[in-house]
Amino acid sequence: MLVLGRKRNESIRIGDRIKITVKEISGNKVKIGIDAPKWVHIDREEIWIAKTPESLRLLVESEGASK
């Protein structure tokens, strides 16, 4: 996992088409803005877990662990 530090209004780019910007920091909460093409599915993790079959979650998690 790559960990990057950012301040308010600073951004991170993922490839040419995705931009993540820190919009607000308040205590231990951070609001982020995500600019991405409409075909890129974006969910909070708890939403993704709730709607993804367990077998697919296990596959994705195991691929992440091998990096």
pLDDT for the residue numbered 7: 97
| Number of domain units in the chain | 1
Q: Is residue 34 part of a domain?
A: yes
pLDDT digits (tens), the chain, 67 positions: 899 999 999 999 999 999 999 999 999 999 999 999 999 999 998 888 888 877 777 767 777 666 5
pLDDT for the residue numbered 67: 56
Residues 6+ apart with CB under 8 A from 11: 19, 20, 21, 22
pLDDT for the residue numbered 51: 81
Q: Is residue 17 part of a domain?
A: yes
Domain range spanning residue 28? 11-65
Question: By the 8 A CB rule, do 22 and 32 touch?
Answer: yes
